[in-house]
Amino acid sequence: MSDLTASADHSRPRTRWGWFVALGIVQLVLGAIAWFDVIAFTIAGVIFIGALVLVAGVFQIVHAFMDREWGAFALHLLVGILYVIGGLLLMDDPFPGAVIITIFVAAALILGGILRIVIGIQHRHMPGWGLLVVGGVISLVVGVMLYMMLPWSGLWVVGTLIAVELIVHGVSWIQFGLTLRKTA
C-alpha cells in the first residue's frame, strides 16, 4: 500500500456512517422538541450555563489556593467567588438569567450589524458589499427587536438558539453520515 493510500485511509473516521446518521436524527428530533417548547429549553439552557459557571468558579477558587505565590491570589479568589455566586443565581432563578443572556445576544447582534454595515459601506467598490450591508441591517433590526421585546424575548431566545443549533447539527451529521456511506 502506498503512503498516499495509507494516509487517506488513516484520515477517515473509524466509526461507521450509520452512527453519524443516528446522531443526526437524535439531534434533529431534540431540535424539533426544543422548537415546540422553547421556554422549557430556555430554562434548561440557562440552568446548564449556570452549572458551567459554578464549576468554573470552583476551579478558579482551587486555582487561587494552588498558586498563591503567583501574585494575584486575592483577584483570582474574588473572581472565583463571583463565578460561584453567579452560577448559583442562574440556577436558582433562570428567568432573570435568560433576560441577561438575551440582552447580550441583542447587544452582539446590534454591534455586529453596525460593524457589517460600516464595513460594507467602506468597501462599496467591491462586489458583494450590498449583501454585507443587508446582513448588517438584518442583524441590527433583529437585535433592536429583541431588546424592545424584553423581558418577554428572554423567555424564548435561548431556547430558540438551542433548537436551531440542534437542528442544524442534526442535518449536518445526517449529511456527513450519508456522504461517508457513498464513499465507503
Note whether 147 and 4 are within 8 A (CB): no
- Does the pLDDT value for residue 34 go beyond 60? yes
Range of the domain at 95: 18-183
28, part of any domain: yes
- Does the pLDDT value for residue 162 go beyond 80? yes
Distant-in-sequence, close-in-space partners of 66: CB < 8 Å, separation ≥ 6:
none
- In angstroms, the CA 59 to CA 82 distance is 12
pLDDT digits (tens, 9 = 90+) for 3-28: 555 455 556 555 688 899 999 999 99
The identity of residue 18, as a single letter, is G
Identify the pLDDT of residue 14. 59
Mean pLDDT of 31-52: 93
| CA distance readout (Å), 84 to 65, 92, 104, 124, 135 | 15, 12, 20, 48, 38
Q: Cell numbers 432573570 correspond to what residue?
A: 96
81, part of any domain: yes
Count how many domains the chain has.
Answer: 1
6, part of any domain: no
Identify the pLDDT of residue 75. 86
Predicted confidence band at 61 (pLDDT cuts at 50, 70, 90)? very high
178, part of any domain: yes
H helical segments located in 3-72: 3-11, 17-36, 38-66
Higher pLDDT, residue 99 or 72: 99
123, part of any domain: yes
50, part of any domain: yes
7, part of any domain: no
> Percent of the chain beyond pLDDT 70?
90
Length of the chain: 184
